[in-house]
Amino acid sequence: MPSAHYQPLELRADHDHNDDDDDVVDLIERLDAEQHERWTSETGVQSQSNGRIRYHPQLADELPSMGGGMAASRYGRAGNSGFRRFVYIMLILLPVCFLIYFVISPQSQDSEDADGDVDPHNGIGKRRHIKLSLTTTRLTTAHYHPFHATIIASKSTHGSIRSMMGHALNESLHICSESHEDRRLYIGDKPRSAYAQLPVIYFVTPTYPRREQIPELTRLAYTLLHVPRLHWLVANDREGCDTFLDAQINGFGIPYTHMASPMPSEFRKAKPAPRGVANRRAALQWLHQHNLTNGVLYFGDDDNTYDLRLFSEIRHTQRVSMFPVGLIAEYAISGPVVREGKVVAFLDSWVAGRRWPVDMAGFAVSLSYMAQYPNVNMPYKPGYEEDLFLRSIGLHIDQIEPRGNNCTEILVWHTQTKNKKSAVVRLENRYMDERSNLGALFRLLERMGVARASESEGLVATISKNGKSKSHAYFLS
């Protein structure tokens, strides 16, 4: 699988200009169009013990540089004469159509002034020529309307978003509740107002119901409470809104949007499943819907560990900043290789042809930069989410801003929490009343998806005193 991306740096200066973006356009569009395509065992996806994904070499060949391999798979193998004839006809017809279009189209005479002037060739990884006025919009406190959290459960926002993005990234997004009010008086040792001029960090957290969900989000929230000018986008992978989670998030007092963004059902049973993708797509849609062109986007999973210095490091990202992530795969580290202040390569034990072999937590993107790429996307392709997302925003290696003292520090850790099924504890219903705390405790645990009490299932609850267990009736009746 030799490609320009594997040649020594000095040999590939010309190729760094994303010369294969057209193929990326094709690939990403095809991935979106073929969402329903089976890609588990048939496509050769294999699980890898360290939680990341591996593909059979055959598929890895197709994905990486997307040169000849992709062309072959997209247009069929050479020797298909009917297809070749079709291509010849199109080659003749297309220039004629373009000519007619440019002669009769009114915008062609005044394309500079047209609203939302878009490069007709724009697509994934292609840049939109946005007017300066858009990029200078600043989301200051004045634009930030404080309002109390409102539950807008089951209100689909998909229609309006589709029209803005050209394609909906998440078909089933529901905004559960949202608050732009920052109720913190002090952050660090300064009053909140001291930070008013900082760009906002949009911290996107995919999450999903399981017994560790509330503890993970609690830990994360207490980190985020130390971060000024942050909007927390919590996207939950489930149908409908979780009112308990809603109250929890609102209780922290930081600006947030809580949305329900379930993974499309056809991916649920896949092994591996595209984890957190529907959620991130929903958040991308929300950002587009709000036309945010100032601030920084960061994908912060609910189980990682974040050093507070990370937030200062990414805050002033111009285009895309990158930094090492600890505890990734075989090397326990993944991140850029930096020479003389420039990113020249990447260190990651799983390359698989990825141009950007980085973890989701290893980069941040400025919204003004991302706004220039209207076809930003994150396909449902396990293991390739970061790579294809970064390709969709036309990243060039020489544009990357290395952070964390030229990538010598570790400011984020890919910690993972052991997953266990929610517990069932055998306890008689008749004792679940106000005579003791147990009824209230188990009702809370059940709402959190941690555990539930049952009369007929689960391990019998052991209740003891002085090292001796006694019948439930002894303590509870």
Which residues are known to be catalytic? 386
Residue 35 CA, chain-centre distance (Å), reads: 17
Residue given tokens 């209780």 in the structure block:
251
Tokens for 465? 């005193």
- Between 52 and 231, CB nearer to ligand UGA: 52
Give the span between the Cα atoms of 291 and 165, in whole angstroms: 10
- Between 46 and 140, CB nearer to ligand UGA: 46
Which residue of the chain is nearest Mn ion when measured via CB?
Answer: 303
Residue given tokens 């807008």 in the structure block:
152
> Which residues contact residue 376 at a Cβ distance below 8 angstroms, ignoring those fewer than 6 apart?
124, 284, 288, 370, 389, 392, 393
Measured from the Cβ of residue 313, the count of other Cβ atoms closer than 10 Å reads: 21
Cα torsion through 346, 204, 294, 200, rounded to 10:
-110
* Residue choice 69, 382, 394, 404 for contact with ligand UGA (CB under 6 A): 382
Q: What 3-state class would DSSP assign to 230? A: strand
Q: How many helices (H) and strands (E) does the chain have?
A: 16, 23
Residues 224-243 that bind ligand UGA (CB under 6 A): 237
- Contact flags string 267-286 toward ligand UGA, x per CB under 6 A: ------x-xx--x-------
Residue range at the interface with ligand UGA (CB under 6 A); choices 169-177, 332-340, 378-386, 430-438: 378-386
Instruction: Provide, rounded to whole angstroms, the least separation between the CB of residue 236 and ligand UGA.
Output: 8
DSSP 45-113: EEE-TTSSEEE-HHHHHHSSS-SHHHHHHHH--TT-HHHHHHHHHHHHHHHHHHHHHHHH-GGGTSTTT
Instruction: Provide, rounded to whole angstroms, the least separation between the CB of residue 206 and Mn ion.
Output: 9
* Residue choice 64, 69, 125, 206 for contact with ligand UGA (CB under 6 A): 206
Instruction: Provide, rounded to whole angstroms, the least separation between the CB of residue 287 and ligand UGA.
Output: 18
CA atoms within a 13 Å half-sphere pointing along the CA-CB vector of 331: 13
CA atoms within a 13 Å half-sphere pointing along the CA-CB vector of 126: 15
Residue 319 CA, chain-centre distance (Å), reads: 17
Q: Which helix (H) or strand (E) holds 344?
A: strand 342-347
Characterize the bridge pairing of strands 174-179 and 150-151: antiparallel
CA atoms within a 13 Å half-sphere pointing along the CA-CB vector of 118: 14
Contact 210/449 with Cβ under 8 angstroms?
yes
- Between 301 and 313, CB nearer to ligand UGA: 301
Instruction: Provide, rounded to whole angstroms, the least separation between the CB of residue 189 and ligand UGA.
Output: 31
- Between 335 and 374, CB nearer to Mn ion: 335
Residue range at the interface with ligand UGA (CB under 6 A); choices 57-65, 357-365, 403-411, 432-440: 357-365
Instruction: Provide, rounded to whole angstroms, the least separation between the CB of residue 223 and Mn ion.
Output: 15
- Contact flags string 290-309 toward ligand UGA, x per CB under 6 A: -----------xxx------
Q: Does 237 bind Mn ion (CB under 5 A)?
A: no
Give the max Cα distance, the chain: 92
- Between 275 and 403, CB nearer to ligand UGA: 275
Q: Which does 275 bind (CB under 5 to 8 A by kind): ligand UGA, Mn ion, none?
A: ligand UGA
* Residue choice 416, 429, 436, 469 for contact with ligand UGA (CB under 6 A): 416
Residues 275-334 that bind Mn ion (CB under 5 A): 301, 303
- Between 51 and 68, CB nearer to Mn ion: 51
Instruction: Provide, rounded to whole angstroms, the least separation between the CB of residue 257 and ligand UGA.
Output: 16
Instruction: Provide, rounded to whole angstroms, the least separation between the CB of residue 429 and ligand UGA.
Output: 32
- Contact flags string 435-474 toward ligand UGA, x per CB under 6 A: ----------------------------------------
Binding residues for ligand UGA (CB under 6 A)? 51-52, 206-208, 237, 273, 275-276, 279, 301-303, 359-361, 382-383, 385, 414, 416
Binding site for Mn ion (CB under 5 A): 301, 303
